[in-house]
């Protein structure tokens, strides 16, 4: 695999992620400064964490001055899906990929970068990942800065609508494969339905949003793997 070409391809494919991240992290920057973080704190958090849901959830906990252990647990639960994504990525890598490359790729395992990486045909080159990560992270960090620094001047209406950017991005990732494969469509529909039900459970039975996502992911993915296993040498196939 050509290193330079892999990196350039990653940069190019990462541009839409970068733009989406600009919008989403802009909204995060605004929220962070509203909850009392300084601009530099918000930017450091984005650069070191690179996780939308985990960062959003942390803001209330920081304001409430929770213990560090509780913060660690919160992040563990909300971000547990990355464990599954990283495990899936190991199957896309050449087995000989060095530990340093593996540690480098791990830094940028996000929903969007993961989705882009698993959709690559054949094996994943670490340099392609680095390209994706570099351009995405630039957007994520710079957007946070803009939101925290200048966001307060935007009308709230515009800010509220920008909040939809992350969901638009998620939809753009999951719908095209769902169109190709009925079992994926079923997984998407079942997950949304289950999410709706769990969100509106009676107060006493309600799960935190991170826990809800984990429960749904485990149940629906396991059911789908049982009912509609993916044919082995046919990750790109359309017969399922």
Partner 1 sequence: MHNVYSYILVMALVTYAIRVLPLTLIRRRIESSFLRSFLYYVPFATLAAMTFPAIFMGDGISIWAAAAGFLTALILAYRGKSLLVVAASACGAALMVQLMINVIQ
Residue ranges in 123-182 that form contacts with partner 1 under rule CB under 8 A? 156-179
The two tokens of residue 220 are: 């629906």
Build a one-symbol-per-residue string for 42-71: x at contacts with partner 1 by CB under 8 A, - elsewhere.
Answer: --xx--xxxx-xxx--x--xx--x--x--x
We find the least distance from the C-beta atom of residue 75 to partner 1, in angstroms, to be 4
* Sole binder of partner 1 in the list 20, 29, 147, 151 (CB under 8 A): 20
The verdict on 17 binding partner 1 (CB under 8 A) reads yes
CB 117 within 8 A of CB 17: no
The verdict on 29 binding partner 1 (CB under 8 A) reads no
Stretch that binds partner 1, among 3-11, 17-25, 143-151 (CB under 8 A): 17-25
Taken as a whole, the chain contains a residue count of 240
The verdict on 120 binding partner 1 (CB under 8 A) reads no
CB 126 within 8 A of CB 101: yes
Nearest to partner 1 of 6, 165 (CB atom): 165
DSSP for 174-197, written as a single string:
HHHHHHH-HHHHHHHHHHHHHHHH
CB 26 within 8 A of CB 162: yes
Q: Name the one residue in this structure whose structure tokens are 């639960």.
A: 77
User: SS3 of 239, please?
Assistant: coil
Site for partner 1 in 184-213 (CB under 8 A): 184, 187-192, 194-196, 199, 209, 212-213
């Amino acid at each position: 695999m050509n290193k330079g070409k892999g990196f350039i391809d990653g940069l190019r494919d990462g541009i839409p992620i970068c733009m989406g991240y600009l919008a989403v992290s802009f909204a995060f920057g605004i929220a962070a400064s509203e909850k009392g973080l300084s601009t530099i704190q918000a930017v450091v958090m984005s650069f070191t964490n690179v996780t939308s849901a985990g960062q959003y959830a942390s803001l209330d906990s920081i304001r409430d001055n929770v213990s560090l252990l509780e913060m660690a647990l919160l992040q563990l639960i909300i971000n547990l899906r990355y464990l599954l994504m990283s495990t899936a990525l190991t199957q896309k890598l050449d087995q000989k990929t060095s530990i340093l490359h593996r540690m480098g790729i791990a830094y940028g395992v996000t929903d969007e970068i993961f989705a882009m990486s698993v959709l690559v045909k054949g094996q994943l080159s670490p340099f392609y990942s680095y390209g994706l990560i570099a351009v995405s992270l630039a957007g994520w960090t710079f957007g946070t800065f803009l939101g925290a620094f200048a966001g307060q001047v935007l009308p709230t209406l515009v800010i509220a609508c920008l909040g939809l950017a992350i969901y638009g991005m998620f939809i753009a990732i999951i719908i095209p494969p769902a169109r190709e494969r009925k079992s994926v469509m079923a997984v998407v529909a079942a997950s949304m339905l289950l999410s709706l039900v769990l969100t509106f459970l009676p107060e006493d039975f309600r799960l935190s949003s991170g826990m809800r996502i984990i429960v749904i992911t485990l149940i629906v993915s396991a059911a789908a793997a049982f009912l509609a296993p993916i044919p082995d040498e046919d990750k790109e196939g359309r017969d399922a």
